[in-house]
Amino acid sequence: MAMRLIDSLATTGPLAELFSDASVLQAMLQFESTLARVEGRMGVIPRAAAQAIAAAARCANLDAASIAAEAAQSGTPAIAFVRALTEHVRSKDAQASGFVHWGATSQDLTDTALVLLLKKAQRVYDADLRRLERGLRRLSQQHRRTPMLGRTLLQAAPPVTFGLKAAGWFAAVHRGHERLTAAFAESLMLQFGGASGTLAALGKDGPRIAHALGVELALGCPEAPWHTQRDRLAGLICACGVLAGSLGKMARDITLLSQNEIAEVHEPAGAARGGSSTMPHKQNPVSSVLATAAALRIPGLVAGYLSAMAQEHERAAGGSQAEWPLVVGVVENTGLAIACMAEVADGMTIDAERMRANIAATRGIIFAERAAMLLGKKAGRDAAHTILQHASHRALAEKRGLSTVLAKMPEAAQHLKARELAELEDPERYLGAAEEFRRALLASARTGKAAPRQKTKMSTRKKKR
């Protein structure tokens, strides 16, 4: 399916395809055909009818446009869908058509279809997240000794290493990945409750059918239908929001570091990539820009979903109808941010020489803290702070290095040794525990607890029965 022009900066090709009309209809057909097979196997509906429904569902070519148009009249696409499927089955087997959607309700169909789509979305996420984590780990290792300016409130600060910065990005992404995995495991649950969530229409067979249906669809079978209890999906939506925020932070850093005045990192280049319609010289950090845009959109969508959680009794009057666009928006934008930053991590180039040049361009004033610590041991903290304030101003005004200025100030020179002054502006000598912290951040991905897996939950439930 071609991506809609209006969505071109808010999704990826695979996710646009995943949430296309054809894909949504296929998920709905999967629910109905699986339900029929399970009920036929259990003798709840005639086995021949179940086979006919499943066969018809495999070759159904339903009109998404007409179903969408009718949805506005009924408040759900399920009614028009079930009617269209029933007519299709009737054209093949009139008797079997009476058993389509047996014992189910509209929300069973729409919620389970959505969950089936989310299950596929997880696979898309996982592939890109693994690629992103590999790229960031590699960058951190390669540049563990590459000093660069620290920046606080966008102003120059004592040096860090690019390896530490990349490790910080990596660890936040990995934590987000773990949260997301746990949230998927919690939320990929069958919805099957019938009219009021009691499966009364199926009598004593209801719970057995629900369990078998969950197994067939490879979804968890919850303790009870969750019609208006949206906390599991809300956890997934919030996990997407947190991960997107971490990706937005990384993207923001990269856009700032790639400014011409700084030019310390560069996104991968390519034909027509990051170009301008009027300025041929430009190489815009387009992937980081798109990831930032996604991270800006997602919080509002997350808030919208949380607002929709206050649903009435056993069936929502507005809340559930609000959800599909919100969920799809969050999932697509999160997937876009992940894919964009994976591409950046794979091909980003680091200009270590420019990082050193930017450190040197500060004329050593970023080492004022280091000088103050040395001086404070002998002159006292407050006196040292005042001396370094004056020295920093002079260094900038006179375009001289901080160590040179300090050497000419008697109140400082009398307390600082020549060796201390000579080493003052060496960034490698003022990195503190940067390497220790970098290694710890990378190691946290190996020592963290694994998120629960969906199969474990299902197998446990099966044993209890």
Catalytic residues: 276, 315
Q: Please give the backbone phi and psi of residue 93, each rounded to the nearest 5 degrees, phi first.
A: -155, 100
d(CA 114, CA 324): 8
β-partners of residue 151 are 156
SS3 340: helix
Residue among 10, 61, 6, 23 nearest 300 (CA)? 10
Compute the C-alpha angle 435/440/446, nearest 5°.
140
Residue among 1, 4, 2, 18 nearest 339 (CA)? 18
d(CA 107, CA 70): 16
d(CA 9, CA 294): 8
State the alpha helices, DSSP H only, in 277-409. 286-307, 319-347, 352-360, 368-379, 381-398, 402-407
| Residue 314: how many other CB atoms lie within 10 Å | 14
Residue among 56, 78, 53 nearest 67 (CA)? 78
Contact between 99 and 172 (Cβ < 8 Å): no
